[in-house]
Structure 1
Amino acid sequence: MTTFKALWVQQNAVSKFFTQEVVERQIDQLPAGEVLVKVHYSSLNYKDALSAKGNKGVTKHYPHTPGIDAAGEVVESATQDWQPGDKVIVTGYNLGMDTPGGFGQYIRVPANWVFSLPEGISLYDAMALGTAGLTAALSLTKLQQMGVMPDSGEVFVTGASGGVGSLSIALLAKLGYTVAACTGKLEQAEYLSQLGATKIIDRETAFEGVDRPLLSEQWAGAIDTVGGDILFNVIKSLKYGGSVASCGLVASPNFQVNVFPFILRGVNWLGIDSVELPLNTKQQMFTKLADEWRIPLLDKIVHEITLEELPHFIESMFKGRLVGRVVVNLMN
């Protein structure tokens, strides 16, 4: 019977704390699904850190294996859509939430969660992008749909040193946008500049003016990864007709709000979902990221780790210490 390694999160019966350890599991312990995938690479996202810490808003049932991203090869398929050896990506839906995720060397999932690895990128590249790259691409797509182009003015990126922030800066800069980066890690200013940011703004500065109904018009567009009052300050600082793509809540899901920016400046607040959107949209975004939107400098953004190193990096992410992206190599 085939066994495999997986990160196993469970609650200690005495202390009630959630622990993470690498264990041996059996393939027949995986849930039902049409496609069995051998995972080569996964990636660490904030939602994974929440799941690994026992957040019941992310994962309801424990013990559990997190990992909302996975890239690998099809081993078995109950449908004609997939054949053994096909290289595929699985991201979002219920993967890593209440379905065993990419922090295991095998996953079994519904066929309609799976899409093909685009030509031009490797399985490693796919997870260097992962949900973060998908989110960055979706955010820019929505901004462009609202008319935010390189000649419109500066685009502001919050949570700039994180995965979505880093990839957003690199993507925007590649496409000719002028990018301002907001971060609580000013020691990473050189890193952000290398990615393409032309202005670095301290997070504390971005909080200024929270109690004011409007702020000076500054940004043509923005990608916000943190939520909270920084998001509302961004909204209050958009130029007339400007737009912000909102995709995160690391700071807070709540903020002070008034209608003035919306009715006096006609600004647009755009919601970004990378989990439940149609599979063909995910495929389109990854295909674009493999071609004309291929993000440069991935080697500067990505840090590769093993499954055994995951608990340490989960703790670092949960405490806001990580920079860029973390790819998990499950091939050893």
Structure 2
Amino acid sequence: MQALVLEQSEGKTVAVVKTLSPEALPAGEVTVDIDWSGLNYKDALAITGKGKIIRQFPMVPGIDFAGKVHHSEDPRFHTGQAVILTGWGVGENHWGGLAEQARVKGDWLVAMPEGLDGRRAMIIGTAGLTAMLCVMALEEGGITPEEGEIIVTGASGGVGSTAVALLSALGYQVVAVSGRESTHDYLRQLGARAILSREAFSADARPLEKQRWAGAIDTVGDKVLANVLAQMNYAGVVAACGLAGGFTLPTTVMPFILRNVRLQGVDSVNAPTARRVEAWKRLVKTLPADFYQQATREITLQEAPAGAMRLLNNEITGRTLVKIR
């Protein structure tokens, strides 16, 4: 089997495609023949060594994949069954999806939903699953399309772009925040009704500003999230799922105690299986057919290291698929 293997040499991370024996795979109940994986921000940090993602080497990165069961000791899965994996530390502390095979725990897998195939599942990927969980958080907070505009930060990334498409398909008025003017046409095609510059949210936030947003999905963190919180409507809900701009939150308690704003954290790595299954069904039902044709590029396993560097340099819009087979 071919696999992208990360190793350490003189304190630096080295990524090389190698031929490995399937016997080298870590323990698990289900072995999967991988057809598609994705290149996520966390994968890019791991492959380039620019983030402290990997703590034990060698490691096969790839935090999500889609494929078919090769062998199963778990009665819930059978040979030839199409499955999806996202999260659970795979690609971080357990060999992941940037390989022709993976061996994982059965609890980590989700059966492919009806109406979806492996390629489209990875166009959605971890980013899309996270976006759907954020949308569900807004809905559960009582935010309906009639409440007002929803702002999405980091909108040109994988989570943000899928969130824009989902919210638009569900009838929400979406305002996208993007740091790149080159993405504006793409975001309008996904359903954004207006686009704001990231610079408008990058200054130090005041405790409260004019109320503008019924809900928000934030993938950036730091000052961007602080500014969004200061602009939320009374009883607004913010679903926060990322820290592309930093992990600090320079804000005050004012939005929470004077405007009843809710800040809801969203995690897809350890989300319960039942929640994942619900989210995948919603994704299949909600995403329009043309979403799968928008800003999706395919690369090979050998091209993944270069693709990781491009992703970190903010040179990629939308989703990058890795075609394994």
TM-score (norm 2): 0.97
Once the two structures are superposed, the pairs formed by residues 1-332 of structure 1 within 5 Å of their partners are 4-13=1-10, 16-54=11-49, 57-208=52-203, 210-293=204-287, 296-331=290-325
Cα RMSD between the aligned structures?
Answer: 1.3
Off by >3 Å, runs of 4+ in structure 1: 292-296
Give the deviation of 1:292 after TM superposition.
4.0
Q: CA deviation at 1:257?
A: 1.8
User: What's the CA shift for 1:213?
Assistant: 1.3
Q: 1:7 is aligned with what amino acid?
A: L
Structure 2 unaligned regions, length at least 5 = none
Could you report, residue by residue, the CA deviation over 1:253-274 in whole angstroms, capped at 9, with x for unpaired residues? Answer: 0021211111110001010000
Residue 110 of structure 1: how far off its partner (Å): 0.8
Structure-2 change in CA distance of 1:137 and 1:253 (3 Å): same
Q: Which letter maps to 2:244?
A: V
TM-score, normalising length from structure 1? 0.95
Measured against aligned partners, the alpha-carbon deviations of 1:263-294 in whole angstroms (never above 9, x if no partner) come to 11000101000001111211111122112455
Report the residue type matching 2:43 in the other structure: D
**What is the distance in 1 between the residues matched to 2:265 and 2:290?**
26
Residues 268-324 of structure 1: CA distance to partner in whole angstroms, max 9, x if unpaired?
101000001111211111122112455642211321111111111100112222111
- Structure 1 pair 111–294 and aligned structure 2 pair: CA distance change class (3 A): farther
In structure 2, the CA distance between the partners of 1:292 and 1:163, relative to structure 1 (3 Å rule), is closer
Cα distance in 1, alignment partners of residues 138 and 91 from structure 2: 29
Q: How many residues align?
A: 325
Offset at residue 231 of structure 1 (A): 0.4
- Structure 1 unaligned segments of length 5 or more: list them: none
